[in-house]
Structure 1
Amino acid sequence: MSTVEFDQLLLDNADFLRPFAVTLTRDHETANDLLQETMYRALANKEKYNVGTNIKAWLYTIMRNIFINNYRRKAKQHTIFDSTPNEFLLNYNQSVVANPAEGNMKLKEINKALESLPEIFKKPFMLYFDGYKYHEIADMLQEPLGTIKSRIHFARKLLKAHLERH
């Protein structure tokens, strides 16, 4: 196929590429750039086109690959690098001391809240807290699955309300 015939073939099929470019980019200006890049790549690689094959499919593939490569390139460019100096850390010599008393007080509050739960909610909740699955708890307590889920949900709500008050 001569260069003139190939060029004419590209021009005849360029109109079919425009809607595809708009669909990919969702912007007319970017679509025009994509179409232009596709035509350039097709001209630059005309020796790779097999005469008699579907030119539209070949052009669509070129366009799709250009779009994907550009998308990946832009995704990498949107990575934010923080290059601000962290000078405030230079003179930051404060040490952190663990306070087990505070943790123990919170643990006592949680245990107190657990003990205040009605037995009907406490038993399924404690089994769930120990790592059992809903269906296992339902089998152990011989209750419907929905009932177990409901009781565990209400236990959480009661615990949350109790801990917010204290």
Structure 2
Amino acid sequence: MSSTEFNNLLLGNADFLRPYAVTLTKDSESAKDLYQETLFRALSNRDKYLAGTNIRAWLYTIMRNIFINNYRRGNRQFRLLDSAVGDYLLSHQPSAIGNFAESELRVKDVQMAVYNLPIIFKQPFLLYFEGYKYYEIAAILNEPLGTVKSRIHFARKMLKTRITRH
């Protein structure tokens, strides 16, 4: 399929994406951004489009994946932000200074409880706490994925009982 044919096919089917973008984002400005990003990705990946494939389904899939990826990254682009609230928080000065001694003691209790976990539970839990995914932890520790998941689960249960007892 030539570039001109693809562009004509894309433009002929692109208007159906606008309502879907609004449905996903719940905001007209964010929907415009999502729509534009979808068309850009479709154009940049036109070599991956197979002639005869349902172009609308292909475009809907691209849009949905972009939205999901942005949501997972924590990208605030698709969320409404009230700037008035942000301005208030920036200029707001607390009238009293908090006492953090109690929270620091609590953190020490948690650290001690984690330190006292058996090594088979502590290792996967600490890796998970550092942000590793289950499959990454399984690869690092050379353990089956189910074993890693259950050890992290049991570590959480042990920590919960040890910390709430105090």
TM-score where L is the length of structure 1: 0.45
Bigger radius of gyration, 1 or 2? Answer: 1
TM-score where L is the length of structure 2: 0.45
